[in-house]
Amino acid sequence: MQPKQTKSKATLWFYVPLWLLFVYLYFQILAIGPNGSGNIILGGMYFVEFGVHEASHMVTAFLPSILCAAAGSIGEMTFTWLLAYAAFRAKSYFAGAFTLLWVMLAMTSAGNYMADARAQQMQLIGLGSDPKHDWNYVFGQLGWLNWDTFIGGTVRLLGDVAGLVGLIIGLVVIIGIVFRPNQVRGTTAT
């Protein structure tokens, strides 16, 4: 009986600090402004997102320009949602909690970019020497430019909800370990 309790305690001592890190990241993402964050963890995650953003533009370059412009942010969000889907499909719920924070980061990034469509005050980084503001172009073409802050705020809010759901799922995993110590990550501990 002792080895089972030891394993669940070890698992608990692993997950609790990690979950506290998730809470910290959640609040760091909430505080991100239009020009990003100085947090090194979020910076690493965003570096991957930026690569996906630019790759999405390149992969969709043959499509009409409005779709190609929107593809960068849509690619970022889709990439993180696919990571979350893969984690939950594999029943790796704690990993799923983290990926939902990554979804939050992607949606915060996209929402900030969308909300900046009229003001165009964000520093743009692109492959060319004079990058264009994707969402200024997209919303301008659709006649939605006056709705930029509303659309961007809504995208960001949906991301905040995804991050909060991730924190709740992580907490549920921890509570499950506390109240069912013989169960570790959905399988019976031996």
The CA-based angle 34-123-32, given to 5 degrees, is 20
pLDDT of residue 132: 87
pLDDT of residue 55: 96
Cα 36 off chain centre by: 14
CA distance to 102, 121, 154, per residue, from 133 (Å):
23, 10, 19
pLDDT of residue 189: 46
CB 3: neighbour CB atoms within 10 A? Answer: 9
CB 76: neighbour CB atoms within 10 A? Answer: 28
Question: Facing residues of 87 across strands?
Answer: none
Number of domains the chain contains: 1
The CA-based angle 158-31-137, given to 5 degrees, is 60
Which is nearest to 79 in space by CA: 96, 102, 97? Answer: 102
Which residue in this structure is represented by tokens 């659709």? 142
- 61-101: pLDDT as tens digits: 999 999 999 999 999 999 999 999 999 999 999 999 999 99
Which is nearest to 157 in space by CA: 112, 97, 121? Answer: 112
Cα 70 from Cα 131, distance rounded (Å): 14
Question: What string of pLDDT tens digits covers the 190 residues of the chain?
Answer: 444 555 567 688 889 999 999 999 999 999 998 777 788 999 999 999 999 999 999 999 999 999 999 999 999 999 999 999 999 999 999 999 999 999 999 999 999 999 999 999 998 876 667 778 999 999 999 999 999 999 999 999 999 999 999 999 999 999 988 887 665 554 444 4
pLDDT of residue 2: 47
Q: Residue 83: how many CA atoms within 13 Å on its side-chain side?
A: 23
Q: What's the predicted TM-score (pTM) here?
A: 0.88
pLDDT of residue 182: 62
* Domain ranges, residue 54: 2-31+38-188
Query: Phi and psi of 36, rounded to 5°?
Result: 90, -160
pLDDT of residue 188: 45
